Amino acid sequence: MANKLKKGKAFVWTENDVVELMAKRFAGPAWVLLRQVRNGTGYQRQTRTADVVAVSVWPSRGLFLDGVEVKVSRSDWRKELADPSKSESIQAYCRHWWVAAPKGVVPVEEVPETWGLIECYKTRSVVAKPAPSLDPIAPDMSFLASVLRNAAESMVPRREHVQALKAAKAHCRDAIKKAGEVPDLERKIERLEGGVKAFEEKSGVKIGDAWDGGRIGAAVHDVLRRKSADWTIGQLVRAAQNVVDEFGGEDQVGDKKATLSDRVLTTGRKNEPRQANARRTSHRDRPR
């Protein structure tokens, strides 16, 4: 039903709630149910409308029409009683004529002699007063045109049924596929949560905290900066070691050990003749 019963609140009936129950009572394939059926097309006569017209389509049960007036309030029902002739133009084509209403809206004693009463509950409907069989007249072409137009407006083409069915099947396949992926995702999430928990326990840092997030970023930046500095120092140490190795160990100048700067300068002076010779050789080899 369109209206759901909320906890602590009374159920409020609508016309659509009652019509849905009528759709269950006059269900296919034995019946065809039409809503808001007029007594004819055009405006050549006074327009009347039946809330529901149910067509019996099984010859074994008889081919006939039933009409239903829907009422959801006492005031609505009193208006109907004040002018019962409103229903006569369509009732004339029907074998049975009903009023359908939530229980208590229409007392049985107020129902006209030629009408029946269907009382509605939240999930079902009950015949409180059987409708007598009437002697209907054959529908004229104007009323038949109105019924056919109503049926056409209510009809969904077969191709749309097929397309909707294909779309529903594809949706179900996707849902089943995604459902199969859920356990794997859950396992991955569990592993990630375990890793985060272990990190938090060891570090004392909460990953989800915004302030801790800033601290983590600053700490990572500091580590990377120190790593870069350590790499530079390592390069200098290796260069110094190469100088020491080149001179066969710790050279001495006088009685004192040469300092690292002395070694570097000594290496530079020893390399100067080599560099000068290289420049002279390069000059001689230059084309004239």
Answer yes or no: are the C-beta atoms of 101 and 120 closer than 8 Å.
yes
Alpha helices, H only, 3-126: 15-25, 74-82, 88-91
Report the distance separating Cα 138 and Cα 65, nearest Å.
10
What's the half-sphere exposure (Cβ side, CA atoms, 13 Å) at 39? Answer: 16
pLDDT, residue 252, reads: 45
pLDDT, residue 257, reads: 45
- What's the pTM value of the predicted model, to 2 decimals? 0.54
Q: Where are the domains of the chain?
A: 15-155, 247-288
Report the distance separating Cα 112 and Cα 197, nearest Å.
76
pLDDT, residue 109, reads: 95
Answer yes or no: are the C-beta atoms of 116 and 96 closer than 8 Å.
yes
Q: How many CB atoms lie within 10 A of CB 212?
A: 15
Dihedral angle at the C-alpha atoms of 141, 142, 148, 154, nearest 10 degrees?
-170
pLDDT, residue 34, reads: 94
Nearest to 115 by CA among 71, 150, 72: 71
pLDDT, residue 160, reads: 74
Report the distance separating Cα 164 and Cα 43, nearest Å.
37
One pLDDT digit (tens) per residue for the chain, 288 residues:
544 544 556 788 999 999 999 999 999 899 999 999 999 988 766 889 999 999 999 999 999 999 999 999 999 999 998 887 888 999 999 999 999 999 999 999 999 999 999 999 999 999 999 999 999 999 999 999 999 988 888 777 677 767 888 888 888 878 777 777 677 777 888 888 887 787 777 777 676 655 566 666 776 677 667 666 665 666 666 766 675 666 555 544 344 444 545 554 454 444 445 544 555 544 445 554
| Structural tokens at position 100 | 């359908």
Dihedral angle at the C-alpha atoms of 248, 254, 257, 260, nearest 10 degrees?
-80
